[in-house]
């Protein structure tokens, strides 16, 4: 009789521990997925801003075709990587896009009259805000992913995690330098031309683009 009671108690304890472990993994996985969804929304918002930004700068520096093509190609690569949903692929693609955006803003620095273009200033402000949100969301996601992955690797969760569909997730990699927000300075620059090319009135935005916060 005593043996039966001991066995029952052990079984109940094991079942209770298994349920708690399973529920804990579910919570961590859901938190990680929620954190990633926040990154995804902001990345799409970033992608939506870039075409208008390129067109605005192009109106004053149309001869910088190489820079515009590089930004466009990097954006296309980031969008394509985003479709995979794999942070290990999305991170490098977004970092490449950040590098090309720096080149675009370096071009913009040579055209001080852009500071009088309201659409450019709005786009710059929106892009900066979006970059800040991405960086915050990235840190939250990576923390959630770390906790989830550690939980998967610890006993006794590692005994059943794979069988129940729990798998490790990739980090959204990126150094602080890679994620640094591109900045524009309209102060005097030794390399800036004394007279910027005449470009006529500020370029009009593409039809239906608007300059309010873009919809993801």
- Asked whether residue 16 is domain-assigned, the answer is no
Give the C-alpha separation, 124 to 53, whole Å.
Answer: 8
Give the C-alpha separation, 170 to 33, whole Å.
Answer: 12
What are the Cα distances from residue 83, in Å, to 49, 103, 179, 192, 196?
18, 25, 20, 39, 40
User: Residue 188 pLDDT > 70, yes or no?
Assistant: no
- Asked whether residue 195 is domain-assigned, the answer is no
Token reading at 10: 């052990």
The band of 189, judged by pLDDT with boundaries at 50, 70 and 90, is: very low
- Asked whether residue 116 is domain-assigned, the answer is yes
User: Residue 181 pLDDT > 50, yes or no?
Assistant: no
**What are the residues whose beta carbons fall under 8 Å from the beta carbon of 60, sequence distance 6 or more?**
108, 111, 113, 114, 196, 197, 199, 203
User: Residue 210 pLDDT > 70, yes or no?
Assistant: no
pLDDT digits (tens, 9 = 90+) for 113-160: 887 788 888 998 999 999 999 999 999 999 999 999 999 999 888 888
- Asked whether residue 7 is domain-assigned, the answer is no
Q: Residue 5's pLDDT is what?
A: 79
Q: Residue 92's pLDDT is what?
A: 93
**Mean pLDDT for the chain overall:** 80
- State the pTM of this model: 0.72
User: Residue 195 pLDDT > 80, yes or no?
Assistant: no
What residue numbers bound the domain in which 99 lies?
Answer: 24-164
Q: What are phi and psi of 213, to 5 degrees?
A: -60, 120
- Asked whether residue 207 is domain-assigned, the answer is no
Q: CATH number, domain at 38? A: 1.20.1440.20
Give the C-alpha separation, 108 to 60, whole Å.
Answer: 8
Q: Residue 170's pLDDT is what?
A: 93
Evaluate whether 45 touches 216 at the Cβ level (below 8 Å).
Answer: yes
- Other beta carbons within 10 Å of 162: 11
Q: Residue 174's pLDDT is what?
A: 61
pLDDT digits (tens, 9 = 90+) for 197-209: 444 444 443 333 3
Place of tokens 């690569």: 77
Which one, of 179, 135, 169, lies nearest residue 31 by Cα?
Answer: 169
Of 28 and 4, the structure prediction assigns the larger pLDDT to 28
Number of domains observed in the structure of the chain: 1
């Amino acid at each position: 009789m005593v043996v039966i009671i001991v066995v029952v108690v052990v079984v109940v304890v094991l079942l209770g521990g298994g349920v708690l472990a399973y529920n804990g993994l579910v919570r961590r996985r859901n938190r990680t997925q929620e954190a990633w969804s926040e990154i995804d929304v902001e990345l799409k918002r970033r992608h939506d801003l870039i075409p208008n930004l390129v067109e605005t700068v192009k109106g004053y520096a149309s001869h910088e075709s190489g820079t515009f093509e590089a930004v466009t190609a990097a954006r296309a690569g980031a969008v394509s990587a985003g479709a995979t949903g794999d942070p290990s692929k999305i991170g490098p693609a977004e970092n490449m896009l950040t590098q090309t955006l720096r080149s675009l803003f370096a071009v913009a620095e040579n055209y001080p009259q852009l500071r009088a273009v309201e659409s450019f200033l709005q786009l710059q402000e929106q892009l900066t805000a979006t970059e800040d949100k991405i960086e915050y969301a990235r840190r939250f996601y990576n923390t959630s992913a770390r906790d989830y992955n550690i939980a998967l690797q610890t006993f006794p969760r590692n005994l059943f995690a794979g069988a129940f569909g729990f798998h490790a997730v990739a980090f959204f990699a990126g150094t602080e330098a890679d994620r640094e927000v591109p900045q524009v300075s309209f102060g005097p620059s030794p390399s800036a031309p004394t007279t910027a090319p005449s470009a006529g009135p500020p370029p009009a935005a593409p039809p239906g683009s608007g300059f309010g916060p873009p919809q993801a």
